[in-house]
Structure 1
Amino acid sequence: MIDPLSVVAGTVITVILPKVLEKVGENIGEAVWEKSAEAIQTVHQTVQGQLQVAGTGGLLTRAEANPTQANVQVLEAELVSQMEEDREFAARLTELVNQIQSQSPAVQVILDKLRITGKLDLGNITQIKEGQTSAKQLLGRDWQVGSDAKVGDITQENRGDK
């Protein structure tokens, strides 16, 4: 089971580090920013303030300047740690993330940041977008497979409004 704080931290990273969004290859970041600029700025200020108080503000600065996978992972881990220690901070970030998500275009992500040390054997995968014509579909970014990879048919469908 995925830790809810990790989900919030991952979402926070995505909205406060625009260069991470650029790597998606979509204009999701621009759409999110246009619709949620104030909430995103509040998230950034909240995170920055919390990290500065904890003495780890440099992690955000480093990730913003150089959003490598390692820098982003360290920042995300620190956010999770801060949320575990400060439930008020966790609640505030969760509230802001929910606000941003309600204002933003839907994004469906399947098999993102997949890490397999051995072989990978996946069957057929179908990603369906129903009634969300503005939703973005992302499938299979940033995979690291230690051996052979076998993937069945992959399809993305837009079924329009129902």
Structure 2
Amino acid sequence: MFEPMSVVAGIVTTVIVPKVLDTVSANIGEAVWEKSGEVIQTTREFVQTKLQATGTAGLLARAVGNPTQANVQVLEAELVSHMEEDREFAARLQELVNQIQSQSPAVQVILDKLRITGKLDLGNITQIKEGQTSAKQLLGRDWQVGSDAKVGDITQENRGDK
């Protein structure tokens, strides 16, 4: 299955910029690296080679050295641009992302990077993990709410293998 180029670029930057992977979650970052370390390294080298060949290697260095949201977004945009211009590059990145995803633990993320300028009023939230007992669950990281926030009960359930 082929992902949109922006999704592939987002996954690639998440795994090749170490600090971005660390912010996903220390435990998940470690698990991803343990299972996919070789493929992640191959991906990083592949991207670096492409960026060096096009004179934009500084974007990767900047994102790694200072992984702000702006620097990572610029790197993602550059990767999308290269993928649009070079279908072989895009296909190879997709292959690498598929390998990383097949080797990585499943991750369920709900309400990540939520930006609300006014009040926030959420009802009850239930996150269910079925079958994949090794899946990691993340709920509600990096919220910015401009006023009051009210959230109902939050539960995470593991229903085990079915």
Band of TM-score, shorter chain = 0.7 to 0.9
2:55 is equivalent to residue 72 of structure 1: no
> Unaligned 5+ residue runs, structure 1?
none
Q: How does 1:48-63 map to 2 (within 5 A)?
A: 48-63=48-63
SS at match of 2:26: coil
Match of 1:111 in 2: 111
Give, in angstroms, the shift of residue 25 of structure 1: 3.4
Who is 1:149 aligned against?
A: 149
Structure 2 counterpart of 1:94 = 94
Normalization by structure 2: what TM-score?
0.87
Identity %: 84
Aligned residues: 160
Offset at residue 61 of structure 1 (A): 0.5
1:26–1:157 CA distance, 2 compared to 1 (3 A): farther
Over 3 Å counting, the alpha-carbon distance change for 1:62 and 1:158 in structure 2 is: same
- The match for 1:22 is 22
Mapped partners of 1:114, 1:76: distance in 2: 20
Q: Return 5+ residue gaps in structure 2 as ranges.
A: none
Q: Which AA in structure 2 matches 1:68?
A: T
- Separation of aligned partners in 1, 2:121 and 2:5: 29
Note the aligned Cα RMSD (angstroms): 1.9
TM-score of the superposed pair, with normalisation by structure 1: 0.87
**Cα deviation digits, residues 89-116 of structure 1 (max 9, x gap):** 1111111111111111111111222233
SS in 2 for 1:67: coil
2:127 aligned residue: 127
Amino acid at match of 1:11: I
Distance (whole Å) between structure 2 residues aligned to residue 13 and residue 121 of structure 1: 32
- 1:35 equivalent in structure 2: 35
CA distance in 1 between partners of 2:92 and 2:115 (Å): 31
Q: Relative to 1, partners in 2 of residues 1:142 and 1:96: Cα closer, same or farther, differing over 3 Å? A: same
Distance in 2, matches of 1:46 and 1:88, equals 12
